[in-house]
């Protein structure tokens, strides 16, 4: 079997108001025996660059045996000399996931069976809750618990309607919001708080200490990802469990964090960090140091399915991010996908990834440029989104 073609499909995702929200970039890898593989890999507001990076991989892949996944990964990663980063890593991830889809289909088994088989019977999920006022957030949390989830994540409501972030951040108010959720859902639901890297060290330490009494599962990206030493400092200031990793790429970026136990949870993203096998290696590194893995996954059902295959066969992957109910067009875009009941996903049971893209439906949602919000502190300086 030989690879004969690569094609990309960029799908514009509308928000609830119909305005462009983001774009998903998919790749299909074609073979001379008619078997195709589907993958996903995109960087928000840089989708065209990611699409071009995927197509450039054709020079490495065309004519090659799609079964040689590790060898092709090494060629893609190492031959150009310039390595890593969100765009190159996402392009590599998309193609690598598609190659596993092909292999699973050829052998007639779900992908996780090729990576060691199941280590669990089902996969625990957490989902997101929203609402600015504490009562509003608590109401949404109760709804998600009623839907079956026992893991919920929220993002602080830092910004006003003008895109301005208060100086200093409203930490007392944010802790009040988390407290309202805890009161609404009780002690048997895990709560996660995602700071999106918006805090300086003193603010992160202050918020972490205040969150300790609310027994949260983890405090996500309390500081920006560029300096892992900040996590070591923060870990000495607070007992709240820490998490990071969605903006890191490849096993090398996680090695120091895992070996030094700088966080309790790492959060690599399968469509950015290097694909299925690279994520399996990262999860094995974490397992060896008793660090848990909560894979990042705010993308489409292709990303979700790839993540579930990883979770199925990786003991350290203890909880999986899941967008519920997700963009409405997903049912139109895909055939197949996850089976979710009472906050858990069943193990995938179809060959390959277990999901197919409807190309006609994808064509109905063309690419539309979408920029991340330009948030500012009150003095006009740039704030993290």
Nearest partner of 54 among 91, 9, 99, judged by Cα: 91
- State how far the Cα of 359 lies from the Cα of 339, in Å rounded to an integer: 22
Determine the pLDDT at residue 92.
98
Residue 203 DSSP class: H
Q: What is the pLDDT of residues 254-313, one digit of tens each?
A: 999 999 999 999 999 999 999 999 999 999 999 999 999 999 999 999 999 999 999 999
Would you state the pLDDT for residue 201?
95
pLDDT in tens, 189-223: 999 999 999 899 999 999 999 999 999 999 999 99
Residue 326 pLDDT > 90: no
% residues pLDDT > 90 (the chain): 92
Cβ pair 40, 25 in contact under 8 A: yes
Closest by Cα among 150, 248, 136 to 191: 150
Domain with CATH 3.20.20.120 in the chain: 113-352
- Asked if residue 116 lies in contact with residue 313, where contact means CB atoms within 8 angstroms, the answer is yes
| DSSP E strands, 144-298 | 151-154, 164-165, 190-194, 218-220, 242-244, 265-266, 292-293
Cα separations in angstroms, 290 against 142, 262, 334? 32, 12, 36
Assigned token pair, 105: 């289909």
Mean pLDDT to the nearest integer, 89-99? 98
CATH superfamily of 3-109: Enolase-like, N-terminal domain (3.30.390.10)
Quick check: pTM over 0.85?
yes
Q: Domain 113-352 has what CATH class?
A: alpha beta
pLDDT digits (tens, 9 = 90+) for 46-70: 999 999 999 999 999 999 999 999 9
pLDDT in the model for residue 87: 97
List, by residue range, all CATH 3.30.390.10 domains of the chain: 3-109
When pLDDT is cut at 50, 70 and 90, the band that residue 19 belongs to is: confident
Average pLDDT over the chain, rounded to whole? 96
Residue 279 · residue 313 · CB < 8 Å: no
pLDDT for 327: 81
pLDDT higher than threshold 90 for residue 18: no
> What is the full DSSP assignment across 111-137?
HHHHTT--SSSEEEEEEE---SSHHHH
Structure confidence at residue 16 (pLDDT): 79
Which pLDDT band holds residue 181 (cuts at 50, 70, 90)? very high
pLDDT at residue 15, rounded to an integer: 87
pLDDT reported for residue 20: 84
- pLDDT per position as a tens digit, 106-134: 999 999 999 999 999 999 999 999 999 99
Q: Which residues are catalytic?
A: 196, 296
Do residues 54 and 92 touch, judged by C-beta distance below 8 A? no
Give 135-188 as a DSSP string: HHHHHHHHHHHHTT-SEEEE----B-TTSEE-SS--HHHHHHHHHHHHHHH-TT
């Amino acid at each position: 079997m030989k690879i004969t073609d690569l094609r990309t499909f960029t799908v514009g995702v509308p928000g609830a108001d119909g305005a462009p929200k983001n774009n998903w970039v998919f790749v299909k890898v074609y073979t001379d025996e008619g078997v195709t593989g589907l993958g996903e890999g995109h960087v928000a507001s840089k989708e065209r660059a990611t699409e071009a990076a995927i197509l450039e991989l054709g020079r490495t892949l065309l004519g090659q045996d799609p079964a040689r996944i590790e060898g092709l990964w090494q060629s893609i990663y190492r031959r150009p000399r310039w390595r890593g980063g969100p765009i190159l890593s996402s392009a590599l991830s998309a193609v690598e996931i598609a190659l596993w889809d092909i292999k699973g289909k050829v052998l007639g088994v779900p992908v996780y069976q090729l990576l060691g088989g199941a280590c669990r019977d089902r996969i625990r999920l957490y989902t997101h809750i929203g609402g600015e006022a504490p009562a509003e957030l608590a109401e949404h949390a109760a709804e998600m618990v009623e839907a079956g989830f026992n893991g919920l994540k929220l993002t602080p409501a830092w910004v006003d309607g003008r895109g301005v972030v208060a100086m200093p951040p409203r930490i007392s108010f944010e802790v009040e919001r988390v407290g309202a959720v805890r009161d609404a859902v009780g002690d048997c639901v895990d709560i996660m708080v995602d700071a999106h890297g918006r805090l300086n060290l003193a603010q992160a330490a202050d918020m972490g200490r205040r969150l300790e009494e609310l027994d949260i599962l983890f405090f996500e990206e309390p500081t920006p990802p560029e300096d892992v030493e900040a996590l070591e400092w923060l870990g000495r200031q607070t007992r709240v469990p820490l998490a990071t990793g969605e903006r890191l790429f490849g096993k090398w970026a996680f090695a120091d964090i895992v070996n030094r136990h700088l966080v309790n949870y790492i959060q690599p993203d399968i469509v950015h960090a290097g694909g299925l096998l690279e994520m399996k290696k990262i999860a094995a590194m974490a397992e060896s140091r008793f660090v848990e893995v909560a894979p990042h996954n705010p993308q489409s059902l292709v990303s979700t399915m790839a993540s579930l295959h990883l979770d199925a066969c990786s003991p350290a992957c203890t909880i999986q991010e899941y967008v519920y109910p997700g963009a409405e067009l997903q049912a139109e875009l895909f055939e197949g996908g996850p089976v979710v009941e009472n906050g858990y996903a069943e193990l995938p049971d179809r060959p390959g990834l277990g999901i197919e893209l409807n190309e006609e439906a994808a064509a109905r949602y063309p690419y539309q440029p979408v920029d991340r919000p330009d948030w500012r502190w009150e003095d006009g300086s740039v704030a993290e989104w």
